[in-house]
Structure 1
Amino acid sequence: MADASSELLEPRSRHWALLSAGLCLLPLLLQLPPSLAATIGASAFVVVALSWRQPMHGFLRLLIALALIAAVLVLSRFAIGRDTGCALLAAMLAIKPSETFTLRDARSLLGFALFAPFATFLLDQGPLSLVLGLSAALLALSTLQRLADVESRDVQSVPLRQRLWAIGRLLAIGLPLALAAFWLFPRLGAPLWGIPERALARTGLSDSMSPGDWVDLMTDDTPALRARFFGAVPAREQMYWRGPVLWDYDGRTWRQSRWYADGGGVDIEPGAARWEYEIELEPTDSRQLVALDLPVAAPEGSRMGPDHNLQAFRPQNGLSRWRIQSAPPLRYQARLPTGMRAVALQLPDDFNPRAVALARQWRREAGPYDDAAVVRRALDWIHRDFSYTLSTPLLGRHAVDEFLFDQKAGFCEHFSSSFVVLMRAAGIPARVVTGYAGGYRNRIGGYWVVRRSDAHAWAEVWVRDRGWTRVDPTAAVAPERVFDTLEAQAALNDNLDARSLLDVGDWLRRGWNDFVLGFDARRQQNLLRPLGIERLDDRTLILLLALAVALGLLWMVWLSRRNERERDPILRAWHRLSRRYRRFGLERDPAEPALAWVDRVAAARPDLAGDLQVLSQRFSDWRYAGGEPGGRSARALTKALRAHRPPANSRGERR
C-alpha cells in the first residue's frame, strides 16, 4: 500500500494549508519595516500564483530565494540583528508554498509557519500580535487535524465544528500549565540569556540631531510614553519631557558630549512646585530615558548626567516603568565651570558666517553684560519674520545661514539649532535639549499619553545668577504663521466620537501593558497576599510552581485519557446508559456487543428490556451500518440515549 503522506494533496486541503501559513506570516510582517514587509508579502503572492497548479521549477525557486534574501539584506543595510533574522524567516516562509503539493509538504509548511508567530514576539508583545498569533496557531492546528483525516481517508466524515471542538480541547489541556508558568515562574531581574539587538533602529529620540532628520519621527503618532501623576499635575504648557542634551556641533549635526562623567555637585534650587509621577516607557532599544524638566534624582536602575539627562543601565528592549520626582528650578547651576562654559560656547570655524556676524553685532549693540537683550532680539525676529512648517528643503553646508536668511521656515530642529548658534556667537553659553513637549490626557484612564509626534527640541541658555534657563524659540512663531504641525489633536477635539474611540483603544493597551507586560517580581510578590502569604520567597514560589505543574499534569492526563471513541457524544451517552443498569447487576461488559447485552438483559429481566431493545438496535445501526456521525438523526439518537431510564416500577427496585 502506498504511503499516503507522499500522495498529491487534494486542492481543498492545500488551500487550507496555504491560508494557515499566510495567517502565520501576517503578524510578523506587521512588525517589520513597511518596505521589507511589502517586498516579502508581494513575493509570497507571486510564489503562490506561479505554483498554483504545479510545482515551480527548482531553478526558478532558487532564483527567487536568492533574490529575496538579497532584497532583505539590502533593505536592512546588511545589518545583522533580531529584525533581520525575523525578516529572513518571513522570506523563507514566503517561498515555501512553491513546493507544497503532498501531505508531507503541507505538514512541513505548517510546522515551519508556526515559527513566525513566535518570532513576532521578539519584535512586539502587544495584544494585536497575540490575537493574530493565537488565531494563526488555531487555524494551523485545525489544518493539521484535517491533514490527519486526509491520511486516514476520513476527511469527509468530520465536520468543521467537531474539528474546532477538538482543537479547543487541546488548548484546554495546555492552558493551566501556561497560566501557572506565567503567574508562578520566578521573575528574574535579568534574563538568563540575551537576544540579539535590533539591526534597524526604532523611530525615537537619539543622541544626535541634524535639521530635517526628525520628519519621520514627527509623523509617527504611536505612543512614546504614558504618565500617571500622584498629586499635583503640571499644566500642559509646562510639560517639557527632557531627553538627550546636545552640546557638540560640527556645523550640521548636534551630538551629546562624551566629556563628562556621572552627574554630581550641580547646584540646583528647586521651585515650590513638585511633581511625582510614573512613566510607562515604550521600548526604544536604547538607554535613553525622559523626565519632566527637571528630575530631582535618578530613579533606581538609571544614572543622571550633570545636564540632568537620564540614562538607564540597560537598553530598554521592553516596556519599562519609572517612578520619578521633578521640580521646575528657580536656579540651575548658577556657577558654570570653566570647561563646561568653553564647550557651551564652541562653534566650528568657517560655518554660517552671516549668523555669526549678526550675533556679534547684537552683542556690540546690547553691551557686554545684557544677555537678556540679545535673547529678546532673537525671539522678536522669529516672531516677526519666521513660519513653522514641516515642508522644508534639505539645507546645505551653511544650514543655519540658509534657514535664518533665505528659508525662514522650518520646525523645532531648525529653530533650536539656529537659536543656539546665535547665542554662542554672541558669547552666551547655550545648548540644545531634545525630548517631548505636551501630551494628551486620556479621559477614561486619567493618565497622559505622549506620542512620538510630540518630539520637540528647545534651547537652554546660561543666565548670570540664574543658571540654565529654558528658551523655546519655536514657541515664538506667530500663531498665524504655523502652517502645518501634523498634530491631529485639534481635529480630535472637534470629533468627540473619534476621541473617545482613541481613548478606549489606548486604555485597553495600557491595561495589557499593566496586567501582562508589566507583571514583574513585585507584582508576583503581591499575587498571593490575599490568601495570607505575606512574602512569596523563592522557596515558596518554587513549591507553588511545582504543585501547579503537578495539578496541570493531572488535568492533562484526565482530559487525554479517553480514546477517540469516548469523545463521540453518542458513545458517551451509550456508556452512561449501560451504567444505569448497574444497580440491577446487568451493566454491559466493555467487550460485549450491544445486541448481545440486550438479549442478556431480556433473558434475566424481561421487564427491563422494553425500549432498550429499540435503542440498542438504533445504536447498532449507527455504529456498524454506516450511520453519519453528524446531522439531525445523530442528534436525535444522542438525545434519546441520554433520556432513557430503566422503568421506575421494575421488580426489585426500591420505591
Structure 2
Amino acid sequence: MASAHAIAAAPGRHRERGRIDDASRVAVLATAALCLLPLLLQMPAGLAVLVAVTAIVMAAVSWRRPMPGPLRLLLVLALIGTVMTMTSFSFGRDTGCALLAAMIAAKPSETYTLRDARSLLGFALFAPFATFLLDQGPLSLLLAMGASLAVLVTLQRLADVEAGDPGGAPLSWRRLVAVGRLCAIGLPLALAAFWLFPRLGSPLWGIPDRVLARPGLSDSMRPGEWVDLMADDTPTLRVKFFGATPPTSQMYWRGPVLWDFDGREWTQPRWLRGLPPATVEPATRGWDYEIEVEPTDNRLLVSLDLLRAAPDGSRLAVDHSLFSPRSLTSLTRWRMQSAPPARYDADLGAVLRGRALALPEGFNPRTRALAEQWRRDAGADDAAIVRRALDWIQREFAYTLTTPLLGRHSTDEFLFDYKAGFCEHFSGSFVVLMRSAGIPARVVTGYTGGYYNRIGDYWLVRRSDAHAWAEVWLQGRGWVRVDPTAAVAPERIYDTLADRAPGAGGLLGGLANVTPALELGDWLRRGWNDFVLGFDADRQRRLLKPMGIERLEPRQMILLFALAASIAVLWMAWLSHRGERERDPLLRAWHRLDRRYTRLGLGRAASETVGDWNRRVAAARPDLAPELNELSQRFVEWRYAGTQAGPGGPQRLRDLIRALRRHRPRPQRIPGEHR
C-alpha cells in the first residue's frame, strides 16, 4: 500500500498534472525568447519593441496564477489589431511574421504544465524559420541554429523532469552531449540535401511581397525623403569587373529614370517600361562586370551607365532603366556589359519629347522667368544654357543634408532662397530649369561611386551612395548626363555623408573611411553569399565540373542524391546503433550488470521479473544471491517507488550507480581447479 502510494506521488506524474517547477519554466521562457530574437531583429523597431514588451508583460502578469480567459482573449485581439494598424492592414510576408511573433509573445500567459511548455517550444520554433522569409544572412542562420539547439536542450530538461530527475542546470554537460549527438547523426543527410537535392531553376510558387519594404531606390522621388537612405550604410551592390575598370568618377549606377513632375514629386511612367530601349551608339571602350544585388523586395535593377543589352532574365525600358520580371526577394547575380554612349537616342520622338518638356501649370514662376531670360540670351544654343546653369551652381550653391522641407514652389525656393541642398534638390530643380528653357530633360536615380575592397577584389556600393542626376537632350548628341550636384565648389560642401555616416563611399570623393575590419566583414559576407545563397540550380548542375563533368542532368542529380542520402542514412543507423544505450546512467549501469550475468549463463530474460530473476540466480549461485538481491531492491525502489524525491536523492543515486558498476559476478569454481 505504501509502495502504491509512493508511486502515485512520483514527482514526474505529479508535475504532468500540475505546474512545472519555476526553474524549468524560466528555461522554457528563455528558450522561447531566444527563438523570437532573430525574427525581432528583422522587424521594424516599433513592432519589435511591441512584441518584446508584450511577451515580458504576459509572462510577469500570469506567473503565479492563470490570466482569466476573457482578459487573455481581449489582449490577444488588441495585439493583433495593433500589429495590423502598424502595417496599414496590408498583408505580406512581414505582416505574417509580425502576427506569428505576436502569438508567440502571448503564449507564456498559458504555460504552466509540461504539456504547455512543450507546446510553447514547438510553436516558438516557427519564429527562427520564419526569419528566413525576411533575411537569409549568416547572423540570422547562427541565431536560428542557436535557438534550435536551445529548444532541444530544454526539451531534454523537460524529459528529465518528467522522469523524476530534478533537472539541475539547464545547460548541463550531459544534455549538451546528447543534443550534439543528435545533430551529428542528422548532419550528413542535411548536407546531402543542401548540396545534391535537385533544385528547380525557378520556384513552383511565389511568396507574398513585403508590406514594409526595405529602404532603397524606387520609381518616385520627393524632396527630403532621401535623407534616411543616404545615411544608411547597408550594402546594396557588390561589383566584380573583368578586365578594365572605370574611374570612380564615372561609376554612375543607373536606376529608375523619372519623367513626370506634379510640382512636388517625380515619378516614372509605368507605360514607358513596355517600350523597347532607345538606340545607343556606344563608345569604343567598355566594361564587363558582374553585379551581386542584395534583396530589395522590388523589381528595380541598376547597371553601369550605359548598358549595352539586358542580361538574361531582365528587361530594359526605353530610357535604359533595368527591371527584373520578379521581385528581388533574394540575392541575385547579373553579368553585364556597359559602355559610355557616343550618341544616345539622337532621334527623340515627339511623344517622349513632349514628356521630357512637360511641367505642371502654376508652379515655380521665378524659375520659368529666369529660364525664358536665358533662352533669349542664348538663342538656339542649348549647351550654352546648360553651361550657364552649372556655372551658377558652382558660384553660389552649397551642398548640405540639412535642408528644410520645401513648399509649393519647391524649385523657386531652392534656386533663389536657400541655394543649399543635396542631390535630389539639385537634380530635380535643374531639370525643371532646363524644361522651362525648352530643353528636354529628365531625372535619373541610382548610385554613384563605390569602395574598392582590396581583400576580395570587388567594389562595394552602399545605400548611402544613392544619387540623383540629370540628363538633357542636345541636338546631334541625344541624351547627355549632367550632374549638377558635382558642380558645387568644394569650399561650399558642408553637412556631408562622412559627417553623418562614416563608412560610406560616395559622390563627393570618397568621404568615407572604411576600416579594414569592415572590409574584412563585408568580404566574409560576400563569401557567404557565394557559398550558400548563390548556390542555385545552375551552380548545382556544375558541381562536378572540377572533376571533368561539365554539367549534371536532372536524372544524374537524382541518382547522386539518392547515393549520398543512402550513405548518410547508413551513417545515421550506425551511430544510432552504436549509441543506442539509454541516456539514464542508472539504466546503463543496470543493463551492464545484466550483461555480466549473461556471460555466466544467468542473464535476465525479457519477460522475467526482477524477483524471479533473483530467485533463479540464488538457486544456481547461492554465493551471488545476497549482493544481487540488495542491488535489485535498491534499483526497484529508486525506479518505481519514488524514493528519488527524498533528501539526499542525488547522492544516493550516485552511490547506487557506483555499486552496480563495481559488482562483478565471478565464474563458479570447479572443485580441485587450480589457477
Range into which the TM-score falls when normalised by the shorter chain: 0.7 to 0.9
Amino acid of the residue matched to residue 487 of structure 2?
A: A
Match of 1:447 among 451, 458, 474: 458
How far 1:59 moved relative to its partner? 3.4
Q: What are the Cα deviations for residues 264-307 of structure 1, in whole angstroms up to 9, with x where unaligned?
A: 47332222321111111011111111000011110000111121
Is the Cα contact below 8 Å between 1:6 and 1:104 reproduced in 2? no
Q: Name the residue aligned to 1:500.
A: 516
Q: Name the residue aligned to 1:60.
A: 71
Match of 2:418 among 398, 403, 407: 407
Is the Cα contact below 8 Å between 2:471 and 2:480 reproduced in 1? yes
Q: What are the Cα deviations for residues 108-146 of structure 1, in whole angstroms up to 9, with x where unaligned?
A: 211111111111111111111111111111111111111
Q: Does 1:526 align with 2:539?
A: no
Q: Name the residue aligned to 1:606.
A: none
Is the Cα contact below 8 Å between 2:364 and 2:411 reproduced in 1? yes
Q: Which moved more, 1:160-169 or 1:526-535?
A: 526-535
Tell me: CA distance 1:623–1:557, structure 2 relative to 1, closer, same or farther (3 Å): farther
Amino acid of the residue matched to residue 557 of structure 1?
A: A
State the TM-score, normalized to the length of structure 1: 0.87
Tell me: CA distance 1:165–1:374, structure 2 relative to 1, closer, same or farther (3 Å): same
Q: Name the residue aligned to 1:193.
A: 205
SS in 2 for 1:144: helix
Is the Cα contact below 8 Å between 2:595 and 2:603 reproduced in 1? no
How far 1:57 moved relative to its partner? 2.9
Aligned mates of 1:220, 1:286 — CA distance in 2: 18
Q: What are the Cα deviations for residues 426-453 of structure 1, in whole angstroms up to 9, with x where unaligned?
A: 1111110000011111221111111111
State the TM-score, normalized to the length of structure 2: 0.85
How far 1:587 moved relative to its partner? 8.2
Amino acid of the residue matched to residue 222 of structure 2?
A: S
SS in 1 for 2:272: coil
Is the Cα contact below 8 Å between 1:579 and 1:588 reproduced in 2? no
How far 1:405 moved relative to its partner? 1.4
Q: Does 1:251 align with 2:267?
A: no
Aligned mates of 1:348, 1:494 — CA distance in 2: 37
Q: Name the residue aligned to 1:211.
A: 223
Q: Does 1:315 align with 2:327?
A: yes
Is the Cα contact below 8 Å between 2:398 and 2:419 reproduced in 1? yes
Q: What is the identity percentage for the equivalent residue pairs of Structure 1 and Structure 2?
A: 63
How far 1:195 moved relative to its partner? 1.3
How far 1:263 moved relative to its partner? 5.3
Is the Cα contact below 8 Å between 1:56 and 1:98 reproduced in 2? yes
Aligned mates of 1:453, 1:630 — CA distance in 2: 66
How far 1:346 moved relative to its partner? 1.2
Amino acid of the residue matched to residue 506 of structure 1?
A: D
How far 1:532 moved relative to its partner? 5.2
Q: Which moved more, 1:189-198 or 1:547-556?
A: 547-556
Tell me: CA distance 1:588–1:192, structure 2 relative to 1, closer, same or farther (3 Å): farther
Tell me: CA distance 1:332–1:491, structure 2 relative to 1, closer, same or farther (3 Å): closer
Aligned mates of 2:331, 2:521 — CA distance in 1: 18
Amino acid of the residue matched to residue 50 of structure 1?
A: V
Q: Does 1:178 align with 2:190?
A: yes
Match of 1:278 among 290, 298, 301: 290
- Aligned positions, number: 634
Is the Cα contact below 8 Å between 2:255 and 2:301 reproduced in 1? yes
Q: Which moved more, 1:251-260 or 1:422-431?
A: 251-260
SS in 1 for 2:528: helix
Aligned mates of 2:115, 2:597 — CA distance in 1: 48
Aligned mates of 1:224, 1:278 — CA distance in 2: 14
SS in 2 for 1:441: strand
Is the Cα contact below 8 Å between 1:569 and 1:638 reproduced in 2? no
Q: Does 1:22 align with 2:33?
A: yes
Q: Residues 432-581 of structure 1 correspond to what in structure 2 (within 5 A)? A: 432-487=443-498, 488-489=501-502, 499-531=515-547, 533-561=549-577, 565-567=581-583
Tell me: CA distance 1:383–1:94, structure 2 relative to 1, closer, same or farther (3 Å): same
Amino acid of the residue matched to residue 42 of structure 1?
A: V
Tell me: CA distance 1:131–1:637, structure 2 relative to 1, closer, same or farther (3 Å): farther
Aligned mates of 1:562, 1:550 — CA distance in 2: 18
Q: Name the residue aligned to 1:167.
A: 179
Tell me: CA distance 1:325–1:532, structure 2 relative to 1, closer, same or farther (3 Å): closer
Is the Cα contact below 8 Å between 1:460 and 1:471 reproduced in 2? yes
Aligned mates of 1:38, 1:417 — CA distance in 2: 38
Tell me: CA distance 1:588–1:301, structure 2 relative to 1, closer, same or farther (3 Å): farther
Q: Which moved more, 1:227-236 or 1:617-626?
A: 617-626
Aligned mates of 1:556, 1:588 — CA distance in 2: 33
Aligned mates of 2:335, 2:630 — CA distance in 1: 71
SS in 1 for 2:292: strand
Is the Cα contact below 8 Å between 1:580 and 1:587 reproduced in 2? no
Amino acid of the residue matched to residue 276 of structure 1?
A: D
Tell me: CA distance 1:616–1:442, structure 2 relative to 1, closer, same or farther (3 Å): farther
How far 1:628 moved relative to its partner? 6.2
How far 1:192 moved relative to its partner? 1.8
Aligned mates of 2:652, 2:211 — CA distance in 1: 53
Q: Which moved more, 1:43-52 or 1:238-247?
A: 43-52
SS in 1 for 2:240: strand
How far 1:591 moved relative to its partner? 5.1
SS in 1 for 2:497: coil
Q: Residues 125-136 of structure 1 correspond to what in structure 2 (within 5 A)? A: 125-136=136-147
Q: Residues 327-346 of structure 1 correspond to what in structure 2 (within 5 A)? A: 327-346=339-358
SS in 1 for 2:270: coil
Aligned mates of 2:350, 2:323 — CA distance in 1: 25
Is the Cα contact below 8 Å between 1:252 and 1:399 reproduced in 2? yes
Amino acid of the residue matched to residue 433 of structure 2?
A: L
SS in 2 for 1:93: helix
Q: CA RMSD in A?
A: 3.7
SS in 2 for 1:78: coil
Match of 2:318 among 306, 326, 341: 306
Tell me: CA distance 1:572–1:40, structure 2 relative to 1, closer, same or farther (3 Å): closer
SS in 1 for 2:326: coil
Tell me: CA distance 1:305–1:618, structure 2 relative to 1, closer, same or farther (3 Å): farther
Is the Cα contact below 8 Å between 2:447 and 2:467 reproduced in 1? yes
Q: Does 1:152 align with 2:163?
A: yes
Q: Name the residue aligned to 2:307.
A: 295
Is the Cα contact below 8 Å between 2:157 and 2:167 reproduced in 1? no
How far 1:32 moved relative to its partner? 0.6
How far 1:48 moved relative to its partner? 2.2
Amino acid of the residue matched to residue 146 of structure 1?
A: R
Q: Name the residue aligned to 1:46.
A: 57
Tell me: CA distance 1:589–1:529, structure 2 relative to 1, closer, same or farther (3 Å): farther
Q: Name the residue aligned to 1:644.
A: none
Is the Cα contact below 8 Å between 2:434 and 2:440 reproduced in 1? yes
Match of 2:122 among 102, 111, 119: 111
Aligned mates of 1:495, 1:416 — CA distance in 2: 23
Tell me: CA distance 1:616–1:302, structure 2 relative to 1, closer, same or farther (3 Å): farther
Aligned mates of 2:203, 2:320 — CA distance in 1: 29
SS in 2 for 1:155: coil
Aligned mates of 1:127, 1:225 — CA distance in 2: 17
Structure 2 unmatched runs, 5+: 1-7, 639-648, 664-672
How far 1:310 moved relative to its partner? 0.9
